[in-house]
Amino acid sequence: MSKIPVIVDCDPGHDDMMALVIACCSPELDVKLVTTVAGNKPLELVTRNALNVMHYIGADHIPLAEGCDRPIVRPKDHVIPKLAEFRRHTDSIENGAHGASGLDGFTFPENNPKKPIGIRAVEAMANVLRESEQKVTIIPLGPLTNVALLLRCYPHLISKIEKISLMGGSSEFVFTRPFMEFNTFVDPEATKIVFESGVPIIMYGYDVTYTVLYDQSVIDRIASHDNQTSYMVSQLLKAFMYRHNGAFKWLGLTDTCPIHDACAVAGVVDPSLITQSRYLHVDIETGGDFLNGATVCDYANTTHLKPNVQVVYRMDNERFFDLMERCSAGGK
Ligand code: BDR
Ligand code: CA
């Protein structure tokens, strides 16, 4: 069976870490390139985290290219005042769900020899598309800045993209604001470019990611494997449950936790994991006062526009956790 060629664009992040482990350690995927984008933390930190994870799990052979350090239009830190305002209304934990490093809860060895390649993410993505005989699936797990620029800079390569399987958005789930999800909120203009591109999009937003909740039994299963990847994953899953549930106390989660980004990779490895989805027309708010980045889903077909997104609502959780375990056990 031929492997599925993919590009993973990420901003690790604990859930990005899990997504990278699934992508790099699943025999079904051929990860051609990993790219990083500012999101959960500034670009330097998320790049360091991605390099650390990839080296630790034995994925040194996969190139990593650094991408954008800020959204396309909005100022670099436009999200910070809004998050500060948002946190005033929550029981925030210090440094948020991912901690000061972006990947708190595990100490990676120092002197990691893995370095980013010498070209930027958008150019590296274009090279992969150009050189691939098969169409390539892009899996964005952070703000859509890099992917939007790729579509704008290399329109003639859009036909080489199989689909975009992304973590982002929300059709109903109320989080920071109605409809609001972090990745689409950080770079609304990039989100609009991607959603209007005509490339098939599968959206794993809060609708589904807050229904795929791991618990201690999943951590224990992963920890029972005697390899360093499983150990690292189990430590970071434990840390993320503590941090996420402390940062977002009003959600009322105590012994369970989402692992958002991993859903968007798992669905590429095995599309039969999707048990409920709808094809909808989805517009992106970019000109409002309160909801910039909102993924506005046209349930009633009032726009009469063709659906541009497969919105995912439910996955087969047990088989998803099996995949998390299998890929962790398959790493170094
Ligand atoms: C998304 O935001 C980030 O914190 C996570 O890594 C995920 O990509 C969830 O809203
Ligand atoms: Ca992410």
Nearest CA-CA partner of 330 in 51, 61, 26, 1: 26
Using most ligand atoms within 8 A of CB, pick from 165, 261, 263 the residue to mutate for ligand 1.
261
The ligand whose atoms approach the alpha carbon of 36 most closely is 2
CATH, range 4-275+312-329: 3.90.245.10
Residue 186 near residue 77 (C-beta atoms within 8 A): no
Q: What's the token pair of residue 252?
A: 């009322």
* pLDDT tens digit at each of 332 positions of the chain: 799 999 999 999 999 999 999 999 999 999 999 999 999 999 999 999 999 999 999 999 999 999 999 999 998 877 666 665 555 555 567 788 999 899 999 999 999 999 999 999 999 999 999 999 999 999 999 999 999 999 999 999 999 999 999 999 998 765 555 557 999 999 999 999 999 999 999 999 999 999 999 999 999 999 999 999 999 999 999 999 999 999 888 788 999 999 999 999 999 999 999 999 999 999 999 998 878 899 999 999 999 999 999 999 999 999 999 999 999 999 99
Report the C-alpha gap between 91 and 63 in whole angstroms. Answer: 39
Write down how long the chain is: 332
Amino acid found at 189:
E
For ligand 1, atom 10, the nearest C-alpha belongs to 182
Question: Count of CB atoms within 10 A of residue 40's CB?
Answer: 27
Provide the pLDDT for residue 251.
85
Residue 143 near residue 41 (C-beta atoms within 8 A): no
Q: Where are the domains of the chain?
A: 4-275+312-329
Provide the pLDDT for residue 216.
98
pTM here? Answer: 0.96
CA of residue 118 to ligand 1 center, whole Å: 27
CA–chain centroid gap for 38, Å, is 12
Provide the pLDDT for residue 87.
58
Site residues for ligand 1, CB cut-off 6 Å? 13, 15-16, 40, 141-142, 167, 181-183, 260-261
The ligand whose atoms approach the alpha carbon of 175 most closely is 1
